[in-house]
Structure 1
Amino acid sequence: MVVFLVTTYFEQLAAIDKAHLWHPFTQMKDYNNSGPLIIERSEGIMLFDVHGRAYYDGFSSVWLNVHGHNVPELNQAITDQLGRVAHSTLLGMANVPAIELAEKLVEIAPQGLTKVFYSDSGATGVEIAIKMAFQYWHNRGIRGKTKFITMNQAYHGDTIGAVSVGAIPLYHDVFRPMLFPSHVIPYPYAYRHEGGEAEAMEATLAALRNLLETQADQLAALIVEPIVQGAGGIIVMPSGCLREMAALCRKHNVLLIADEVATGFGRTGAMFACDLEDVSPDLMVIGKGLTGGYLPVAATLATDEIYDAFYADYEEQKTFFHGHSFTGNPLGCAVALASLKLFAERNIVEGVKAKASFVEQKLAALKARPHVGDIRQKGLMIGIELVRNKTSREPYDWEERIGVRTSLRARELGMLTRPLGNVIVFIPPLVSTEAELDEMTHILSESIISITEGGSVTCPK
């Protein structure tokens, strides 16, 4: 039996945390050997720990916070809905906020996405899209189209179907014996390609074209993170690539699934990343920013064509047998409606474009630093790749934990973020002011220079 001697409130919480709480994407031996960060309250884009110390939320609490924390309008929407009903199932019935939110989502979604199927996280939304795509062809009597195409280093969530269309070895390889196989095509890593964007894009399109021309009769859908590949390292597609991929899928009668969980709701400078290239997918998954970062609500949007393949007499058994206990939760849908209202009232998406330009200028000086290999950005999604040798692009060994150490240094300086290997992620809340972005980028630069170049180096603002 483990005995903890507790003297303070923090020590009590830390002891319980270490004794009972298993954290996601966290090596618990490392975690339990360190002093935990325990958040107690929030204000604006700041989070405060139990000691009262303030931190900028430099990664939007895992990429989902839009309007900041503790927003009066969002708080009120939940309070008002609590006075009506906290939860009512969507199985065979409906509720007011779920209906109203579905209408709003269709209004702002890419053209043709007219049906909304709710879930509770991005991963479950992806599961739904995969199952819909598979059953769509089945319901149409086309039984051979059962395979999926994904992209190298893709991440679509951690449930079994989502992992099956994932392609990040560190996250996914151990589970391969459990999964269905997917075709993996190269992602257009322009910054690694000697020929630059044009050749990287053509290599991707050539691989997709070859697969579609030879195996389209077996392929149900291509799933893609549009414009920006998130967990793979904040990799930005060359301009026009998504549009060409969509056209190829349409030509060969293969569905396109757009995973907008990370890129949706203004993050890339458009309401959805697909809007940047006027792409209308057959299925689109949204989550994270849907409720402004408040409650776990996700959705899978589909076209009428997809929906109609399931719309049949009871005896035909074409029903989509899938659902979640909290599907269309009224509290979550109410706060999502309030969030979308703030988007419109405060012109959030247009504001992202100006703020993105400001951040790009602030980080420009980092490009000259000896261990900054690349700065990748679309809107307010930024990844800064750290390398041992800038000329040869030799990476740091993973054992050096360069990304972890840099993020911990940022925490010491008052900003929270979480790295993707040696890529430092900067994904601030969309409402961050220029003054706040100025301070956060300063902390980011200071942290990178301090860790990669040694010592305490002051980076001028």
Structure 2
Amino acid sequence: MQKDFSIDEHLEYPVENVENPVITSMSERDAKSVWHPFTQHYTAPYSIPVVKGQGAYLFDENGKRYIDAIASWWVNLHGHAHPYIAQKVAEQFLQLEQVIFAGFTHEPAICLAERLLDILPNNQAKIFYSDNGSTAVEVALKMAIQFFHNQGNTRKNKIIAFANGYHGDTFGTMAVGAKSAFNAPFEPFLYETLYLPVPTKGHETRALEAMQEYLQNADEIAAFVFEPLIQGAGGMVMYEPGVLNELIALAKAHGVLTIADEIMTGFGRTGKMFATDYIEHKPDIFCLSKGLTGGAMALGVTSSTQTIFEAFLSDDRRKTLFHSHSFTANPLACTAALASLDLLLLPETQAQIQMIHQSHQCFKEVLQEKYGKAIADVRIRGTILAIEIQTSEGTSYFSNIRDTAYNFFLEKGILMRPLGNVIYLLTPYCISEEDLQYIYTAIEEFLQHIQAK
């Protein structure tokens, strides 16, 4: 018989050990045992120990409060420790926490698939679950290449992507991302990708001409993958819907599948449910993650058209899509996603999205009027604000401004993680106008600080 477990009975960590004295600081314990992502531990300071989240705030072990201005790497939609999501996940945990998803299914996965297909474009028919954004794109690339392979066409195996893009850190997603310090050690192992110029203002024609040139050999190209309207890790680089619409139309006309990486842009970030809601021609495959669960749990989704799905139906089992992981369609993660959708579709949430957008627009005017010489560009799309600071080195992920800005905002209780010389806001939707104004004031102070140097 299973013993009832009381929270009060759990072991307190760290446990006293004469031979291994307790290190009381969470930061020191972390430094002794943890390897962090995107962190150069030789030069990085100790990690900040967070003990609590509430709404748009994070609290460290000393009680200091931080406004989470980047939604904890763009995942948190509704605020930390949201009671509604927590309640739904807790209820699900007591009913079914995990089951193999090959040969079995469950209500949260079915319900989530149905609800996602209701809000995705009408051409989407099937939902494939994975565990994060990188694998959602990895699955999409495998779907596209195997779609043609299953029909006996082994020549269509090249991918078109935008230069400067980022789609993840698995091998397939590194291959279609920009060649950079992120993936340089692995370049010999990455397959060939055809890169288009990013169609930013004034460069639309170059991108269209490059696409037309590549499509002269469309019999070798399986797919065109892109971050719609905004390249996230590339510096919050933005471009207009019209040129993307034309690029997708060209690809479709030449029998090339189109893959929308909506990992960051999905679920209202751009002002609409999906960034591709701004365009007429709908992609064949969608990749979703980050805000999918409201930031509560890891979950990835790759959706496809019925035509793509049917290419995998066969008496020959070798035509199966052989991709999985142990926690595919985890019931808890699916439940968190369902709860997040409930919150996202509320009128109050939609009003907050509009409030954030309007606040950014007003602040953009202030920036352009007062700090024009210090700023190379200010970009807005929906709830996302990006400020590119003028530097002699141009746009660079490794700009020294990054560390200066990061530490400046931390001191003021704001979690911001600049992309080189690009500082940006991508907040939870629950943020207050007061907190936004506090962040804007801090940004102005930072611009004054660097101008004074």
Secondary structure of 1:86 counterpart? coil
Superposition pairs for residues 241-256 of structure 1, below 5 Å? 241-256=243-258
1:398–1:57 Cα change, 3 Å: closer
Is the contact between residue 227 and residue 237 of structure 1 (CA under 8 Å) also seen in structure 2?
yes
Whole-angstrom CA distance in 1 between matches of 2:253 and 2:173: 26
Is the contact between residue 60 and residue 428 of structure 1 (CA under 8 Å) also seen in structure 2?
yes
Secondary structure of 1:180 counterpart? coil
After TM superposition, give the deviation of residue 347 of structure 1 in Å.
Answer: 4.8
Whole-angstrom CA distance in 1 between matches of 2:21 and 2:363: 45
1:203–1:60 Cα change, 3 Å: same
**Do structure 1's residue 123 and structure 2's residue 142 form an aligned pair?**
no
User: Bigger shift: 61-70 or 359-368?
Assistant: 359-368
1:9–1:316 Cα change, 3 Å: closer
Whole-angstrom CA distance in 2 between matches of 1:165 and 1:187: 14
1:269–1:233 Cα change, 3 Å: same
TM-score, scaled relative to structure 2: 0.92
**Do structure 1's residue 158 and structure 2's residue 169 form an aligned pair?**
yes
Whole-angstrom CA distance in 1 between matches of 2:190 and 2:162: 16
Partner of 1:187: 198
* 1:454 maps to amino acid: A
Partner of 1:434: 433
Secondary structure of 1:127 counterpart? helix
Partner of 1:360: 361
* 1:343 maps to amino acid: L
Partner of 2:443: 444
User: Bigger shift: 334-343 or 438-447?
Assistant: 438-447
1:105–1:189 Cα change, 3 Å: same
Partner of 1:201: 204
Unaligned runs of 5+ in 1: 191-195, 456-461
Deviations 1:283-307 (A, max 9, x none): 1100000000000011000000000
User: Bigger shift: 169-178 or 105-114?
Assistant: 169-178
**Do structure 1's residue 327 and structure 2's residue 328 form an aligned pair?**
yes
* 2:380 maps to amino acid: Q
1:85–1:398 Cα change, 3 Å: closer
Is the contact between residue 77 and residue 428 of structure 2 (CA under 8 Å) also seen in structure 1?
yes
Moved over 4 A (4+): 4-8, 396-400
Superposition pairs for residues 306-325 of structure 1, below 5 Å? 306-313=308-315, 315=316, 317-325=318-326
* 1:329 maps to amino acid: N
Is the contact between residue 269 and residue 353 of structure 1 (CA under 8 Å) also seen in structure 2?
yes
Superposition pairs for residues 38-437 of structure 1, below 5 Å? 38-190=49-201, 196=202, 200-212=203-215, 214-313=216-315, 315=316, 317-349=318-350, 351-367=352-368, 368-369=370-371, 370-388=373-391, 395=394, 401-437=400-436
After TM superposition, give the deviation of residue 36 of structure 1 in Å.
Answer: 2.9
After TM superposition, give the deviation of residue 345 of structure 1 in Å.
Answer: 2.2
**Do structure 1's residue 23 and structure 2's residue 58 form an aligned pair?**
no
After TM superposition, give the deviation of residue 241 of structure 1 in Å.
Answer: 1.2
1:399–1:209 Cα change, 3 Å: closer
* 2:272 maps to amino acid: A
For the aligned residues, what is the CA RMSD?
Answer: 2.0
After TM superposition, give the deviation of residue 382 of structure 1 in Å.
Answer: 1.9
Is the contact between residue 28 and residue 46 of structure 2 (CA under 8 Å) also seen in structure 1?
no
Whole-angstrom CA distance in 1 between matches of 2:354 and 2:80: 22
1:396–1:334 Cα change, 3 Å: closer
1:339–1:241 Cα change, 3 Å: same
Unaligned runs of 5+ in 2: 1-18
Secondary structure of 1:48 counterpart? strand
Partner of 1:458: none
1:360–1:407 Cα change, 3 Å: farther
Whole-angstrom CA distance in 2 between matches of 1:61 and 1:398: 19
Is the contact between residue 363 and residue 445 of structure 1 (CA under 8 Å) also seen in structure 2?
no
1:437–1:168 Cα change, 3 Å: farther
Is the contact between residue 406 and residue 448 of structure 1 (CA under 8 Å) also seen in structure 2?
no
Whole-angstrom CA distance in 2 between matches of 1:276 and 1:396: 27
Whole-angstrom CA distance in 1 between matches of 2:230 and 2:109: 29
Whole-angstrom CA distance in 2 between matches of 1:7 and 1:441: 42
Deviations 1:260-319 (A, max 9, x none): 001001000011100011331111100000000000011000000000001122x35311
Partner of 2:16: none
Whole-angstrom CA distance in 1 between matches of 2:289 and 2:129: 10
Is the contact between residue 241 and residue 278 of structure 2 (CA under 8 Å) also seen in structure 1?
no
Is the contact between residue 407 and residue 447 of structure 1 (CA under 8 Å) also seen in structure 2?
no
After TM superposition, give the deviation of residue 376 of structure 1 in Å.
Answer: 1.4
1:403–1:143 Cα change, 3 Å: same
Whole-angstrom CA distance in 2 between matches of 1:173 and 1:345: 44
Is the contact between residue 378 and residue 385 of structure 2 (CA under 8 Å) also seen in structure 1?
yes
Is the contact between residue 157 and residue 163 of structure 1 (CA under 8 Å) also seen in structure 2?
yes
Whole-angstrom CA distance in 1 between matches of 2:76 and 2:243: 28
Select 2:24's aligned residue among 2, 9, 14.
Answer: 9
1:239–1:309 Cα change, 3 Å: closer
Partner of 1:459: none
Secondary structure of 1:424 counterpart? strand
Residue identity (%): 37
